[in-house]
Amino acid sequence: MAWGGQFVFGDAFAAYFGPSDDNDLHEHAAYQIVLSSEAETIVIDETGDEHAGRGFLIRPMIPHAVQCDSDIALIYLDPQSGIALDLANRLDPDDIAALDLEDMPFRVPPNSDDLFAQLNDLSVSTPSNLDARLEAVLAELRDEPGRWSITEAAARVGLSESRLRVLARKQFGVPLSTWLVWRKLECSAKALAAGASLAEAAFAGGFSDQAHFTRAMRRMFGITPSVASRSLTGQS
């Protein structure tokens, strides 16, 4: 099978629906939901152990790979989004936790449009319970992730870079640099969806070059931008 489905980015989520294919061991800043309504999914952890089931929540920064012989839904949630925090609080504290599909806040959909519509309808935006200085930094980095360095962003709110990194790690649970790469990939993915070349998409996300973009996407999603570009669809 090949990655031939649809891949979209929303305000606080990214989602893929369709057939899966080979993917390298990878980790990312998001909480990931893995769902399949037709066949058992295998999630492989960094030790090589296999977790089998129909649904999983994978916590941020946990190396893994995913295998499934039918269409699969892969949902990546901002680590401070309401739905991610709700699921994380209700589930066992395992790095890779089994999900009961009946307890999900949305249905396992028969098609991609249904999945994306449900995600857009859910309240998945970042709650305003962050430190005001961190919230200000995130707002700027989210809109233009390639414009400011972390050092520059920290100075704009009167913090040292080290203090900002500690604050972000405490409130996010993931390194700020990793979250920033996630946002850069979001910008690059939206550029690809709009018809940009790989080089143009790398520039749009603030990556130094196409090779840097490729390394970041492989590390974060386990696939290359050229593979992802075949599945990306624009947001209306």
Closest CA to 178 of 203, 150, 157, 156: 150
* Per-residue model confidence (pLDDT) at position 127: 55
Closest CA to 36 of 11, 50, 16: 16
Cα dihedral 70, 220, 209, 204 sign: positive
3-state secondary structure of 197: coil
* Per-residue model confidence (pLDDT) at position 212: 94
Where do the domains of the chain lie?
A: 6-121, 132-229
Residue 7 is given by DSSP the state E
> Taking the chain (236 residues) in consecutive chunks of 10 residues, what is each chunk's mean pLDDT?
71 80 82 84 93 90 89 84 75 82 67 72 60 86 81 91 90 83 87 90 92 90 82 53
100/137 Cα distance (integer angstroms): 36
pTM summary value: 0.78
CATH 1.10.10.60 fits domain 132-229: yes
Q: How far, in Å, are 22, 84, 111, 223, 226 from residue 25 at the CA level?
A: 10, 22, 27, 10, 18
3-state secondary structure of 158: coil
Q: In what order do the strands lie in the sheet with 72-77?
A: 6-9, 13-18, 72-77, 31-35, 55-58, 96-98
Task: Please indicate whether the domains covering 6-121 and 132-229 agree at the CATH topology level.
Answer: no
* Per-residue model confidence (pLDDT) at position 234: 43
Q: Mention the CATH class of domain 6-121.
A: mainly beta
Close Cβ partners of 170 (under 8 Å, ≥ 6 residues apart):
none
